[in-house]
Amino acid sequence: MPGPSPHKPRRKAKRAGGNGPSNLPVIMEREALVRIPSFPLAAFLWPARSSVSQWELLPLILMAVGLFRWAAGLWGYSGFEKPPLFGDYEAQRHWMEVTTHLPISQWYFHDLEWWGLDYPPLTAYHSWICGKIGSLIDPAWFALYDSRGSHDPTLKIFMRATVLVSEYLIYIPAAVIFVRRFSRLSGVPAWTSSVALVAILMQPATILIDHVHFQYNTVMLGFVLASMSSMLAGRNFWACFFFVMALGFKQMALYYAFSVFAYLLGVCVFDHTNIPRFNIPKFIGIALATVVSFAILLLPIVAGTLSEASRGITAHPGGAHPPLPLFADLAKHLNTEAFYYPVIEQLVQMIHRVFPFARGLFEDKVANFWCAMNVVIKLKQYPAELLQKGALVATLAAIVPPNLILFLRPNKHPGLLPLAFATTAWGFFLFSYQVHEKSVLLPLMPMTLLLAGRQGLGKDTRAWVGFANILGCWTMYPLLQRVDLRVPYTVLTLLWAYLLGLPPTSLNAYFQDGSSIWSQWATAFIHGFFYLTMAFWHVLDMFVVAPKDKPDLWVVANVGVGAAGFSLCYLWCLGSLVIESEILPPSWTGKEAKTKSE
């Protein structure tokens, strides 16, 4: 159902109301949002509500969010003046010098003790492009060996610019297109979707990790957004291509892989009426598109390795062939002098670097189930194989339900897609192997996209999306604190909370008309408890020194509270997915009673 025009709400609402009483609350919600700016971000964009074209407001939005990103980048970064390895900033800079100075066959083998390349090929290609451009400006920035640990202020400007430009080339366009398409399919007016777009682009965790701490996560997230947008548009081949590119940039995109598979398989099995009719040509086409996309991704590595091998350049300049890291016995059945062996060695090494199973269940303290459980039961006393199997079983138990729903209801309505992606990513974050603090960006991204959907800026969705984002930033505070990034953490988190009318700056997102008083008080009580706990934790961390025999006490407390809060976010996303999919009888989910009351 198309949404009402921002400048003619009354006439549109009256005409649409004839479609049935079940549509009336949605229409009233949209009218209220258009007429009354109920939170600061809506008030700031209020003068633009009568804009004739959405493209008049978009340049202003992009300039504003870009300004905040660049201002955040004026602070320090991961590893600034912190030897011996100097953090993620040095890792990204080092990969630029490795890819621009060494043969492609040596990228995944060079000096693995000093930030050895451990991301998929597209990250390496991206590093090569950035390194080539940077070398034209100042070759000393990427001089192999000699530039390690460089903190040249001009280099910092260049590195910050590569993050910003990469984001504006990939993530920003993908976010704009997805929000416009998602909002249109959900019947949300253009002005309301513009408010949601600003909220999504001002998401504090993304800015803190990429533009302050220093990463390129938004490139991967941008490809995922492009894949999701292609799904909504019915362009399944492009959905395959963009998701393979996301996997090719960062292996963390596997958090979404089950949802991508479930959706694409679902559209092959069910038609638009949800009647099972297996479409074999579509299935074969999607499979071929996936294979071709992986071939395109690996082609430079494979072709470069073969070309260099023919010229006597190998991954091991010394000439020896060490055992394959993951398949040591495989080498016994292979001819190390055969023309194909360098390619096999290259691919095996890449997999070994990208999936470091030998590192254990977790390395650092992160707010997921395993790290929280480790406080009670020391998990490292158990064999690694047992822990891997336990993580696999727990992760599957968490992600199968949302993806089963997505498979059975691929054409229900567009809101199921981000809900399924968010639920699946929360399941991976809570239970999977080798989770890092920054991995919380993956469930936060699709959950935040809900702001652009039907009633997305309504109080209930805004309260839960806001709670997840603020809690996510709070759990990353120990990581940011270690590199002296307290100020940007405080400013960006409180700014986002203020713009969306969220605690601790406002209670605007609670107690709305038309919903259950019990659910309102329950949500307010639960969120209020966590917000107060987070504030109290900050006071303890700032003014109370942890006991000498428990130096990590406050970090461990952060882990426990964060894991509990993220578990609630998982349950809320899963519950919303079950309700919206209508896969259960209405009497089970409360929709029947709600419909009668309306």
116-160 pLDDT, tens digit each? 999 999 999 999 999 999 999 999 999 998 999 999 999 999 999
Task: Identify the three-state secondary structure at position 276.
Answer: strand
State yes or no: pLDDT of 34 exceeds 80: no
CB 492 within 8 A of CB 499: no
How much is the average pLDDT of 266-293?
A: 91
Q: Of 9-13, 48-52, 271-275, which one has max mean pLDDT?
A: 271-275
State yes or no: pLDDT of 23 exceeds 90: no
| pLDDT for 321 | 67
| pLDDT for 292 | 97
CB 455 within 8 A of CB 191: no
Say what angle helices 217-233 and 153-169 make with each other, to 10 degrees.
10
% the chain with pLDDT above 90? 64
Q: Which helix (H) or strand (E) holds 410?
A: none
% the chain with pLDDT above 70? 87
Facing residues of 141 across strands? none
Q: Which residue has the tokens 């040596």?
A: 106
Instruction: Select from 477, 476, 425, 479 the least CA-distant residue to 448.
Output: 425
463-466 long-range Cβ contacts below 8 angstroms, 24+ apart = 463/502, 463/509, 463/510, 463/523, 463/527, 464/523, 464/569, 464/572, 466/496, 466/497, 466/500, 466/502, 466/503, 466/509
How much is the average pLDDT of 436-452?
A: 95
How much is the average pLDDT of 386-407?
A: 94
Task: Identify the three-state secondary structure at position 169.
Answer: helix
How much is the average pLDDT of 574-593?
A: 76
Higher-pLDDT residue of 446 and 44 is 446
Instruction: Select from 442, 435, 433, 434 the least CA-distant residue to 468.
Output: 442
Euclidean distance between CA atoms 6 and 11, whole angstroms: 11
State yes or no: pLDDT of 517 exceeds 70: yes
The mean-pLDDT minimum among 34-48, 76-90, 267-281, 475-489 falls in 34-48
Q: Which helix (H) or strand (E) holds 171?
A: helix 171-185
Binned at pLDDT 50, 70 and 90, residue 65 comes out as very high
> Side chain identity at 589, as an amino acid letter?
T
Instruction: Select from 238, 253, 232, 233 the least CA-distant residue to 286.
Output: 238
pLDDT digits (tens, 9 = 90+) for 167-208: 999 999 999 999 999 999 999 988 899 999 999 999 999 999
| pLDDT for 276 | 87
| pLDDT for 523 | 92
Instruction: Select from 6, 81, 105 the least CA-distant residue to 46.
Output: 6
Euclidean distance between CA atoms 315 and 199, whole angstroms: 46
> Side chain identity at 411, as an amino acid letter?
N
| pLDDT for 590 | 58
| pLDDT for 571 | 97
Instruction: Select from 514, 441, 519, 458 the least CA-distant residue to 39.
Output: 458
| The overall pTM is greater than 0.85 | yes
Facing residues of 438 across strands? none
How much is the average pLDDT of 282-306?
A: 96
Would you state the structure tokens that stand for residue 561, as one six-digit string? 């509270």
How much is the average pLDDT of 255-275?
A: 91
State yes or no: pLDDT of 360 exceeds 80: no
Would you state the structure tokens that stand for residue 108, as one six-digit string? 């995944």
CB 343 within 8 A of CB 305: yes
| pLDDT for 52 | 53
| pLDDT for 442 | 97
Would you state the structure tokens that stand for residue 334, as one six-digit string? 């292979």
Higher-pLDDT residue of 598 and 109 is 109
State yes or no: pLDDT of 243 exceeds 80: yes
Q: Give one DSSP letter per residue of 47-64, joined into a string.
A: GGTT-S-HHHHHHHHHHH
State yes or no: pLDDT of 431 exceeds 60: yes
Binned at pLDDT 50, 70 and 90, residue 25 comes out as very low
State yes or no: pLDDT of 17 exceeds 70: no
| pLDDT for 46 | 87
Euclidean distance between CA atoms 404 and 315, whole angstroms: 43
How much is the average pLDDT of 293-313?
A: 94
Euclidean distance between CA atoms 456 and 444, whole angstroms: 15
Q: State how far Cα 556 lies from the chain centre.
A: 24
Whole-angstrom CA distances from 1 to 13, 64, 403, 454, 581 are 11, 32, 26, 11, 17
Q: State how far Cα 123 lies from the chain centre.
A: 16
Higher-pLDDT residue of 546 and 16 is 546
Burial class (CB in 10 A: 0-12, 13-18, 19+), 10: exposed
Residue ranges per structural domain of the chain: 88-151, 161-286+361-597
Euclidean distance between CA atoms 219 and 174, whole angstroms: 10
Query: Please, what is the average pLDDT of the chain?
Result: 87
Instruction: Specify the DSSP class assigned to residue 270.
Output: B
**Backbone angles phi and psi of 443, in degrees to 5:** -70, -30
Q: What is the 3-class SS of 428-486, one letter each residue? A: HHHHCCCCCHHHHHHHHHHHHHHHHCCCCCCHHHHHHHHHHHHHHHHHCHHHHHCCCCH
| pLDDT for 33 | 44
CA atoms within 13 A on the CB side of 407: 14
